[in-house]
Structure 1
Amino acid sequence: MTPSGKPRLSPDGQRLTLDLDDQTHEFAALWLRERAPDAETLDPRTGQRLVEAAELPLDLALAHAELDGDALALRFSDGHATRFPLALLRAERKPLATVAPGRTLWEGDLADPPRASFDEAVKGDDALLALLDDLHRYGFVLVSGVPTDEDGMQGLIDRIGPLRRTNWGGIADVKSVADAYDLTMTQRGLEPHTDNPYRDPIPGYIWLHCLTNAADGGDNTLVDGYRAAQLLAERDPAAFDCLTRVSPGFRYRDETTWLESEGPLIELDGQGRVTRVRYSNRTERVEALPAEELARYYAARRAFYELITSDELTVHLKLDPGQMLIMDNYRLLHGRRAYELAGGVRHLRQGYVDRDSTASRRLVLRRRLAETEEVA
């Protein structure tokens, strides 16, 4: 959409006002200068800043500003001139929302979960990008055609990874064992939870690969934590606010490991949008806060728990051999129904891949494919 009206400068030149897409936006001259998209300010290859932003004059001003096609032509009081594409300004001034843009929130009536083919994603960049886009958008992907050997998912991890190693090793078994070191390795049902909130950093993505699933029960449950947080904010704003402020601790200990971290059950980014959920009844250790604050926290936690365990938000899946779930551990709450081994064997394998490598792979693939289309 074409901007309406000319850009206006404040009397001191330190603010620029522009009507863009039927909304009025204000930009600081100093911000425009340190973000100037030219080769003198930003490295053309990496996008890293070449000027020392902290050394720019605090009273830096705009000497001139005018529309020049699809860009703003700017000249600053330090003599620097640049063209700032309007598309970049639009990207920076997106309206605030409960969650970051590009996500599709869902509930228990999700009819068709996002799906991908293991073989196609391993062999083709288009299919791999589609998988990663769905993972980013929905918070999980159901992958089919995974080889049913113990390292069957490794081929796809190698395309995205690396594999995150923990005190449990790399890819670990998820099956009932004697003297289980974690409740995952028992037959009991598991409440909705996020994995390993006691680690720093918390693993970004969970890869859960089914080798055999003939036991009675053992269905996986999935809940969109972003949607649960959004509903809590709408239905009980005080509870939402409490869960963004109070940071309980989380702890895991065994004979060789002692892990501790902390964080709110609902974490916001710098723009007030939900960026992470934590929930781990088994490992949470809230401090002995003042009684009134604890009462508020316990009531807020109960309200969140009732949402994440509700039929309204819960999707049920039973994995078949050769299927795999990739789940966003910052967003998805997952659990399972109890199972009985009398019906057969249940054997899954689980690994972690970090968030940064996954996001990087998606963005690099998108850029490469866009460049290929431009050349073609």
Structure 2
Amino acid sequence: MKLVVLGLSLSSSWGNGHATTLRALLSAFAARGHEVLFLERDQPWYAQNRDLADPDFCELRYYADLAALDGWRHEVAVADAVMVGSYVPDGIAVGEWVQRHARGTTCFYDIDTPVTLAALERGECDYVSQGLIAGYDIYFSFTGGPTLTRLEEQFGSPCARPLFCSVDTARYRPLDVPKRWDLSYLGTYSPDRQPTLTRLLIEPARARPDLRFIVAGPQYPADIEWPANVARVDHLAPAGHAEFYASSRFTLNVTRADMIAAGWSPSVRLFEAGACATPIISDRWQGIESVFEPGREIVLADSTEDVLAALDADAGRMGAAARETVLARHSAGKRAEQLEQDLERAAHATRPTIEERVVAS
């Protein structure tokens, strides 16, 4: 089939978690014999930090503004499926345009579902509306569990399906490199994550000056007081992720507040670290046990003391056990197979007409 994707960014992983998720999924989808066109809004901050300007698994093209999308109307009209992603600039207008012109299956891929639903309830979401949700044939959600029922019953989606992030297991794998860090963290600064990062990494670093820590990611405020044994990297491109994890005795996963509240929202960092067989210490949220088994495949920590105890313990086979689970259930290949099946199922379902979609939006 031919799939057209209008997403936040494929070309740049700077300051967003969308690029790595989309690269893994679409690369595996293309490997199954499908054709992919990715349309990306040309934004200066991504243009200055592109680490995948010419992907070999899809056609990547840029558009300057909403008016420029009309140049792609034919491709959208003849595509078997068209996907719009969360946080796309002017996403409501983009979605209305897609639902007006697409003849195939239309879907929304929300990599930020709990954040989206909270913004919708506040009336502050600028990339999707309740009317658009009802107009998309499928709402692919980063979050599973009860949120799927909520999307259908409260927000009017005709079909809400989980599509968790995944990992390219050819790129993320164990590497034989020296361990440089006792605990690492990879993630863009977020105000709601910072208290947890302080409790589960900065405070352990203060308590154990003999251990080595590192935080990689952009946009951290200059006034954060990092202990001397915490190294900082402003941005780490995906090409360096596997070595980053392999250089770590443990790595930390920290979840945004909205996603903790919703549960069932695994971060791509969980799967990346797991694929590299790096033992993971994570904050706690409902549904995490459906991703990794606590105590055998992951350490769940609530306090500084929990982290210090984990760092003093022998992780043993924990990293290897997590990798086995990622390979079996969370690879990009598995997600692409699921996407293919859902799109094929939707193609044979009764869909509203273009006129009905316009009315719904």
TM-score under structure 1 length normalisation: 0.24
Higher helix share: 2
Bigger-Rg structure (1/2): 1
Higher strand share: 1
Greater relative contact order (Cα < 8 A, sep 6+): 1
TM-score under structure 2 length normalisation: 0.25
